[in-house]
Structure 1
């Protein structure tokens, strides 16, 4: 799938970010083309714009199938933009860094997953996929980050309820929490029973990935509401990096599972607070 990138002609930051995203065309993007309003671009387009330049970035919804990339002054504004419908954000200081290229590869990765006939994940979220798609994305992302000298992160979680609940109920609750905690470009899956995986997009330092893992542990350790009652849960979590010449999904998953086995469980009592 070839996508066209649209920008406002007067938005210099967007022009620079779009040019970096398009690069040599490896990510399947072409352009950039100019537009008067984001609401007028065709389905399948990628639109890039700055909050300071284009009011569409902050308010107007795009057509279905349009990917929205917003340039913001800081991460706080980026999170707000995502909550209002943006798919990705770029901090203004990073428009001439590898960040736009990383986002372009993330868009390509998601397109390839959707076009490969994989089933959906257990919840209706764009970044939640089934286990087969997850393994395919590990291999694809590993190949990409290896060619670009980057690092990817695999985070696994094992979640155990205090009292028995159906696996499907546990899977739905935890996958929803993972999707809400992670960035829009990161991938979530249920691997079966009480195992969950997250594929974290590049663009994070190791320290940033560790902070994200802590947030996931805190979110998934909160009680789950099942049949009108709170069920305490505990979890442990493990992370591994990838991006070298080895891109076998099972080996990467095995490394992350070993990290889970070496981590400590959270306590049931720590999670008995108000059910989110």
Structure 2
């Protein structure tokens, strides 16, 4: 996935870090592009900035598929920044070294995890299969609907709790909600970490699939209970069609991931994007 790197503010350390990310470690990155605040960066962008340059003093927040890299004075400040929402941090004294390149490579690897590197999570739920079986079902179903001139639908979700929740706990809760929301013939899967997918059986129009995706979005956006605490959830959701000549599971998953990138964080009313 090709990304653009944005620089928030006029901080020299942020400029140096961005240039090193693009010039050495971040092959496929474009830019850098100047922006006034963290909130101006579009989905798919990488923003580099210093908390000292943030006029509101709020710092980076998780938003719309944006990856944030914050320049900090110390490692302690960096850990605090990631707790508040930053994806990565770089200590200002290290921007001339290999750290920005290492961060760029981390971002690129994370991009790759979404498709061929999706995990193989297993949850004991009805109609819930592991990642390997899910890939096989994508290819099999794609071939079947292609022969019959029909259309299949893939719904992909990325769910993020506002507070840390063990991956297995979140996976079981979300897969349970998916299994109870989808139709009996549909298949769901935990693809590892905070990624989930639903393979929608044929027999639905595009409008019907979008209605079903809306039900999924509402079900998976409700808060969860963990250790006596009520924890809010934010999720990206995207949908793509399949059933043409292309039945490669990773290509279909990557199209769905592109739709996720174009969506917005929300509990119930994010903008559903569809990639044909």
Taking structure 1 as the reference length, the TM-score comes to 0.53
Which deviations, in whole Å up to 9, do the C-alpha atoms of 1:4-43 show, x marking residues without a partner?
xxxxxxxxxxxxxxxxxxxxxxxxxxxxxxxxxxxxxxxx
Report the Cα distance in structure 2 between the residues aligned to 1:120 and 1:170, rounded to whole angstroms: 12
- Decide whether the 8 Å contact of 1:120 with 1:128 is kept in 2: no
Shift of 1:225: 1.1
Corresponding position of 2:229:
229
Shift of 1:238: 0.3
Corresponding position of 2:265:
265
Corresponding position of 2:186:
186
The verdict on how the C-alpha distance between 1:128 and 1:261 changes in structure 2, with shifts beyond 3 A counting, is: same
Which deviations, in whole Å up to 9, do the C-alpha atoms of 1:111-147 show, x marking residues without a partner?
xxxxxxxx9940331x100000000000000000000
Corresponding position of 2:151:
151
Taking structure 2 as the reference length, the TM-score comes to 0.53
Report the Cα distance in structure 1 between the residues aligned to 2:208 and 2:148, rounded to whole angstroms: 20
Corresponding position of 2:125:
124
Report the Cα distance in structure 2 between the residues aligned to 1:196 and 1:147, rounded to whole angstroms: 27
Report the Cα distance in structure 1 between the residues aligned to 2:201 and 2:137, rounded to whole angstroms: 11
- Decide whether the 8 Å contact of 2:187 with 2:198 is kept in 1: yes
Report the Cα distance in structure 1 between the residues aligned to 2:153 and 2:165, rounded to whole angstroms: 30
Corresponding position of 2:176:
176
Report the Cα distance in structure 2 between the residues aligned to 1:159 and 1:167, rounded to whole angstroms: 11
RMSD: 2.0
- Aligned partner of residue 192 in structure 1, secondary structure: coil
The within-5 A match list for 1:76-225 is: 121-125=122-126, 127-225=127-225
Shift of 1:159: 0.3
Which deviations, in whole Å up to 9, do the C-alpha atoms of 1:216-237 show, x marking residues without a partner?
0000000111112211101110
Report the Cα distance in structure 1 between the residues aligned to 2:196 and 2:188, rounded to whole angstroms: 8
Unmatched 5+ residue regions in structure 1?
1-118, 271-276
- Decide whether the 8 Å contact of 2:121 with 2:190 is kept in 1: no
Count matched residues. Answer: 151
More relative contact order in 1 or in 2 (CA 8 Å, sep 6+)? 2
- Decide whether the 8 Å contact of 1:123 with 1:176 is kept in 2: no
Q: Which runs of 4+ in 1 moved over 4 A?
A: none
- Decide whether the 8 Å contact of 1:151 with 1:202 is kept in 2: yes
Corresponding position of 2:8:
none
Report the Cα distance in structure 1 between the residues aligned to 2:143 and 2:184, rounded to whole angstroms: 21
Shift of 1:171: 0.3
